[in-house]
Structure 1
Amino acid sequence: MKELPPRVQQPLHAYLRDHARTRGDATACLWYGQALSWAELDRASDAFAARLQALGVAKGEPVVLFLNNCPQYLVAHFGIQKIGAIVCPSGPLNKEHELAYQVNDLKARVIVAAAPLMPVVRKVQAESALAHVFVVHYADLLPAEPTLDLPAELAAERMAERSVPDGCEDFFAVMKAVATPQPVAIDMDDIALMTYTSGTTGLPKGAMLSYGNALYKTRAAADCNGVGPDDVLLSIAPLYHIAGMLMGVNVPVLSGAASVLMHRFDPRTALQAIDRYNVSWWYSIAPMNVACMQVPDIARFDLSSLKMNPVTSFGIAFTESLAAQWRSHANHCSSFEAAYGLSETHTCDTYTPHEAPRWGTQGVPVPGVTIRIIDTETQADMPVGEVGEIVLTSAGSFKGYWNKPEATAATLRNGWVHTGDMGKLDADGYLTFIGRFKEMIKVSGYSVFPEEVETILIKHPAVAQAAVVAQPDPEKGEVVKAFIVRKPGAALEADALVAWARENMASYKAPRTVSFIDALPTTGAGKVLRRLLK
C-alpha cells in the first residue's frame, strides 16, 4: 500500500458521533452477550463528559483510567476526550507505588477505577491530589445469561453485594444519566492521550500523543489490515496498553466494526467467541494462539469466519510453522507478524503485506512512516542489512514526555524518534527488530542480542518460553543467563539445554547458566520484563 485511503480529519470521538447518528442501533461492543450500540456508547460517553465538566475538569487536564477491559473503559475513554481532557491509562496490575508515581507525576485530580482495585487507590489517595473517584463495577453491564464463559472474577462479582465506597461516585449511574457536555474546540495537535512507557529503562515517562497521532495510526492499523464496517473484531489485548487500545478502542470506532470484548484472555472463551459471533478479525499475542491450539476439543469450534489475524511476538516468536498450524484450525485465516511500534509513536509503524510476508521481520513501514537505521555514534545511515539504531518519523510521532524536557530532547530530535531499539532493513524495506540497546549483552566484546538467543532456545522441543539476561563474569565481562519455562510434562535439565544451545548457536551466545521458572514476568500486554530477572 503506497498511501492510506483519505478519511475525514477529525478526532476519533467524532467518528463515534457519526456512527451514532447514521447507524445508531448497530452494535459497537459485545460484552459476554450484552450488546452496546453506537448510540448507547455515544450517549453514555456524553453523560460522563458532562459530569467531568461539572467537576471542573478542563481541556488539557489528565484523567486516570485504572481498570481492566470492560465497556465502561470505552465510555470513559471517549468521554474524557470529548471535552479535550487527556486519557491517562494506568495498568491494573500496578501496585501502590506504581499508581502513586503516575498519579503524582500527572497531579491528577480524577480517577476512574474498578471496584476490585479500590484498595490500591485508597492507599494512594491521601498522598496525592486525587479528589474525585469514579468506581466501575465490571458486572454492571453483564447480561443475565452470558453467551460466553465468564472469568471467575466476573462470575464472583455478579454474585457479590454491590456497593460504592464512601466518598466515591458510581460510574454506572453517571453513564446512564441524560446529559450533554458543553462544546470544546479541539485541534488535532491537542494532547488526547498520555501513555506511560513500560519503564524498561529508568522511571516510566508519560508519552504525550495527540488526536492527530491517534487518527493517523488508527487509519494505518485499519486500512493496512483491511478492516471494514462489516467485520467483527475480537478485542482481548489490554485496552490500557497502546497496542490493545489501538486495536480494541480506536480501530472499531474508525471503521464502524463491531467488537467482541473480553475482560481478559482465556483460550476456550476466545474460541467460543470466534465461533458464536463469526469473528473475522483478531489482533492477538503469539502465546494466545498457542494456548488456543492446546484446548483439547478445539475441533468442535467453527473458526472458519476468521479471515485476518495480526499477531505480536511477545514471549514467543510467531513463526511460519505456527501460522500454518493455526491455519489448520482456522482454515480461512491469514495470520502474520502484526507490526513494529512503540508508545512514543502510537505503535503500528510497520505492517506485514499479506500477499508477501517475510517471516522473521516486522514488515514494511506503513504509508507515511520513514524508517532509518543509524550508527549511534556517528548518526550516519547504516548500509542495507547492517544493524544499528531504529529511528523514525511520521504523523504519529509523539509531542514529548510529560514534564520531562531532557528526556524529550534525547528521544525526539528534529522530528525523528530515536527508539533505542536495534534493527536492520533489507533491500526491500522490511524491518527486523533485533532488541533493545540497553538489554544487549557484551560477551568478551561480542554483542549478543537477547531476542536472537531466545528465538533459538524456544526451538528446543521441551522449551515453552525463554528469556535471557546478562550475568556479570570476571573473565568475559558478561555471559548469558537463561530463564526457561518448560513445556507441560517435559523433562529438561540445565546441563542438557546448555549443551544443546552450544550446538545450535555461536558458543559466546549460548547460556552459561540456566534457571527454570514457572512463568516469565510480563507486562499486562505480555511483554517480557527482563529487568525483573536480573
Structure 2
Amino acid sequence: MTTPDQPLHEYLRAHARQRPDHPALIWYGRAITWQELDAWSDALAAHLQGLGVQRGAPVALFMNNCPQYVVAHYAIQKIGAVVCPCGPLNKAHELQYQLSDLGAQVIIAADNLLPIVEQVRADTALRHVLAVRYADLLPEAPTLPVPPELQAAPAPLPPDCIDLLATARAGAERGERPAPVNVGMDDVALMTYTSGTTGLPKGAMLSYGNARFKTGVTVDNFGLADGHIALSVAPLYHIAGMLLGVNTPILAGATQVLLFRFDPVAVLQAIDRYQVTHWYSIAPMNVACMQVPDAARFDLRSLQRNPVTSFGITFTEALARQWQAFTRGPCVSYEAAYGLSETHTMDTGMPHDAIRWGTHGRPMPGVAIRIVDPDTGAEKATGDVGEITLLSAGNFKGYWKKPEATAKALKDGWVWTGDMGRLDDEGYLTFIGRTKEMIKVSGYSVFPEEVESILIKHPAVAQAAVLAEPDADKGEVVKAFIVKKAGTALDADALVAWCRDNMAPYKVPRHVRFIDALPSTGAGKVLRRLLKDEA
C-alpha cells in the first residue's frame, strides 16, 4: 500500500480531518465518526499523560470488543506508550502474572471485570484504574441483537475508578490534546502476550513499524479500501482480531461494524443492513450462520471477501462453495493466513485468483520463509517438512525481559517459530504442527493437528485435541480429548475402531477421554497445557 510510512494513529488523524462526519465505527446502530474517534482518543491520551504515563510505559487493556477498546488503543499509542492487551477470560492469577511482568501502573478495564482487578491490585504496581461500560455507546433503538451482557443496568463505579468515556467526551468538548511525542517507527507500540499453550505467556514486543508493515500488506491482500464496510467479530485483544479489527479499517479508511461477540443472527443482520463487504471469520462461525432458521431472508450479496481461519472445523473447498451459494453473491472465501504474535501475524496470504486448498497461501510481499532442520538450521528441500522461519519488517523486537527466549526465537533477524511446515514448488505454505507438541510414537513423529484434523471428520465429534501420553513400550502414545456433538452417542472403543480405519496405526489414539469443552484462549486456540493438567 503506497502511503506514507507513519504510525497508524496518524491515519486516524488524517481521516478525521478529511471526512470528520463519516462513520468510522458502527456499534449496534450507533455510528461513531472519524472526528469523534480521533477527538476521544486525543482527550484520553492527554488524560493519560496527566496521570504520568510517559513514552514507553505499559498500559493494560482488560475488556472485550467495544468502541472504547479502539479509543484506548490509539490514545495509548498517540503518546508513545505501549498497548498491553490482557485477555478478558483471564482469571485473577493470570492477570496478576501479566500485570506484574509488565510492571503496569495503569489499567483500562470493563466494569464487570473490576472485581478481578481489585483482587490483584495490592500485589501489582497498579495505581490508576479506568473503567469501561460496554452499554454506554448503545443507541436507544439498536439495529442488531444486543447480547444480554450489554443490557444489564450499569452499577456505580468504585470511587477510585475513572470513567473512561465520560473523561474522553468531556476532554474532547474542551478540545484537549496530548503534548506532542516524537514516536519512532522502531519504538515498541504493542506488547502482546503469547497464549502460553505449552508454558507461561511471554510478552512479544512489537513496534509501530511492525504494525504499519503488516497492516499494509493485509489491506492489500484483503482488497480493503475506502468505502468498504468491514465486519469485526474476532477478539480485538488477540493479534489477528487487532490487525483486522483495530488496524486495517484505520489504514484503509473503511467503516467497521463492530460486534461484542459472535452471534450468527447478528452477523447475518449486520451484513444485510450495512451491506458489509469484508468479514474475517473462524470456520465454525460460517457453519453456524448457515444453520440459522430462515436465513434466506437476509440479503448477503454485498459480501465480497471472507478470509477464514480453520479451527475445530477445517475450511475446505466444499465448505467455501457451500458458503458462496448461501450468500448468493460474489463472495470469495479461503483459508486466511499463517502467522503468529511474534510477527504481527499474516505472514502468508492466499491469492484470490489461485487458491490452493489445504495450504495457508504464499508469503506476503516483503516476507521471506525458509523451512529448516530445527537442529542444524540447514534449509530443507522443497516439499520436505521442517521448522518454519520468517524474515520481514513485521518481526518482533524480542520477548519482554526474556533474553534467553529472545535469543532462541530471533536469530540473525529470522524468527524461528517452533512450527513445522513445508513449502511446495509454487511457494505455498502448509502448516503441520508445533515442534514442542510433537508426539514420538515408536520413533514416528505425530503432530497433534494432523490427528485432530482426522478426528473431527467423525460424524459424532464436534471438537478434538490430542497430546502425548508416556508409554513404557512406545515412548509416547496419542491421548485424545473429545467433545461430542449434541445428541450423538459415541464410546471410546467405537472411536478407536474408526480411527484404525482412517489413519496410520501409530497415529491412532491409545487413550480417549470425553469432555464437555476444550480449554482455549478467547481467540479459540486450544490450551494444551491445561489439558495436560486435567490429564
Partner residue of 1:216?
213
Which of 403, 406, 411 is residue 404 of structure 2 equivalent to? Answer: 406
Q: Aligned partners of 2:198 and 2:415: how far apart in 1?
A: 16
Which of 208, 226, 229 is residue 229 of structure 1 equivalent to? Answer: 226
Contact 2:350–2:360, Cα closer than 8 Å, also in 1:
yes
Contact 1:435–1:450, Cα closer than 8 Å, also in 2:
yes
Contact 1:210–1:399, Cα closer than 8 Å, also in 2:
yes
Partner residue of 1:287?
284
Which of 492, 498, 501 is residue 500 of structure 1 equivalent to? Answer: 498
What secondary structure, in the 3-state scheme, does the structure 1 residue paired with 2:507 have? Answer: coil
Q: Aligned partners of 1:207 and 1:316: how far apart in 2?
A: 29
Letter in 2 for 1:187: G
Partner residue of 2:272?
275
Report the Cα offset of residue 301 of structure 1: 1.5
Matches within 5 A, 1:41-56: 41-56=37-52
Contact 2:85–2:191, Cα closer than 8 Å, also in 1:
yes
Contact 1:315–1:528, Cα closer than 8 Å, also in 2:
no
Report the Cα offset of residue 318 of structure 1: 1.1
Partner residue of 1:11?
7
Q: Aligned partners of 1:236 and 1:120: how far apart in 2?
A: 25
Task: Give the aligned CA root-mean-square deviation in angstroms.
Answer: 1.0
**2:251 aligned with 1:258, yes or no?**
no
- Could you report, residue by residue, the CA deviation over 1:366-388 in whole angstroms, capped at 9, with x for unpaired residues? 00000000001211000111111
Partner residue of 1:391?
389
Partner residue of 2:83?
87
Contact 2:197–2:526, Cα closer than 8 Å, also in 1:
no
What secondary structure, in the 3-state scheme, does the structure 2 residue paired with 1:438 have? Answer: coil
Partner residue of 1:142?
138
Report the Cα offset of residue 161 of structure 1: 4.2
TM-score when scaled to structure 2?
A: 0.97
**2:180 aligned with 1:187, yes or no?**
no
Partner residue of 2:67?
71
Q: Aligned partners of 1:472 and 1:123: how far apart in 2?
A: 38
- Could you report, residue by residue, the CA deviation over 1:22-63 in whole angstroms, capped at 9, with x for unpaired residues? 011111000000000001000000000000111111100000
Partner residue of 2:118?
122
Matches within 5 A, 1:193-208: 193-208=190-205
Report the Cα offset of residue 493 of structure 1: 2.1
Partner residue of 1:97?
93
Q: Point out the more displaced range, 449-458 or 429-438.
A: 449-458
What secondary structure, in the 3-state scheme, does the structure 2 residue paired with 1:502 have? Answer: helix
Matches within 5 A, 1:350-389: 350-389=348-387
Q: Aligned partners of 1:35 and 1:27: how far apart in 2?
A: 6
Contact 2:59–2:76, Cα closer than 8 Å, also in 1:
yes
Letter in 2 for 1:15: Y
Q: Point out the more displaced range, 488-497 or 468-477.
A: 488-497
Contact 1:314–1:528, Cα closer than 8 Å, also in 2:
no
**2:50 aligned with 1:57, yes or no?**
no
Contact 2:145–2:266, Cα closer than 8 Å, also in 1:
yes
Q: Aligned partners of 1:267 and 1:510: how far apart in 2?
A: 35
- Could you report, residue by residue, the CA deviation over 1:391-427 in whole angstroms, capped at 9, with x for unpaired residues? 0100000011111111111101110000000000001
What secondary structure, in the 3-state scheme, does the structure 1 residue paired with 2:318 have? Answer: helix
- Could you report, residue by residue, the CA deviation over 1:307-352 in whole angstroms, capped at 9, with x for unpaired residues? 1000111222211111112112113211101110000000000000
Partner residue of 1:174?
167
Report the Cα offset of residue 508 of structure 1: 0.6
Report the Cα offset of residue 490 of structure 1: 2.2
Letter in 1 for 2:5: Q
Which of 460, 474, 477 is residue 475 of structure 2 equivalent to? Answer: 477
What secondary structure, in the 3-state scheme, does the structure 1 residue paired with 2:25 have? Answer: strand
Q: Aligned partners of 1:129 and 1:488: how far apart in 2?
A: 46
Report the Cα offset of residue 202 of structure 1: 2.3
Q: Aligned partners of 1:494 and 1:45: how far apart in 2?
A: 54
What secondary structure, in the 3-state scheme, does the structure 2 residue paired with 1:299 have? Answer: helix
* Shift in alpha-carbon separation, 1:359–1:161, aligned structure 2, 3 A: closer
Contact 2:271–2:303, Cα closer than 8 Å, also in 1:
yes
Report the Cα offset of residue 69 of structure 1: 0.3
Matches within 5 A, 1:378-527: 378-527=376-525
Q: Aligned partners of 1:489 and 1:403: how far apart in 2?
A: 49
Contact 1:84–1:186, Cα closer than 8 Å, also in 2:
yes
- Could you report, residue by residue, the CA deviation over 1:116-140 in whole angstroms, capped at 9, with x for unpaired residues? 0000000111111100000111111
Ranges in structure 2 where 5+ consecutive residues have no aligned partner: none
Partner residue of 2:299?
302
Report the Cα offset of residue 528 of structure 1: 1.5
Partner residue of 2:326?
329
Q: Aligned partners of 1:35 and 1:70: how far apart in 2?
A: 13
What secondary structure, in the 3-state scheme, does the structure 1 residue paired with 2:416 have? Answer: strand
Q: Aligned partners of 1:274 and 1:89: how far apart in 2?
A: 28
Contact 2:312–2:463, Cα closer than 8 Å, also in 1:
yes
Q: Point out the more displaced range, 47-56 or 473-482.
A: 473-482
- Identity within the alignment, %: 68
Partner residue of 1:316?
313
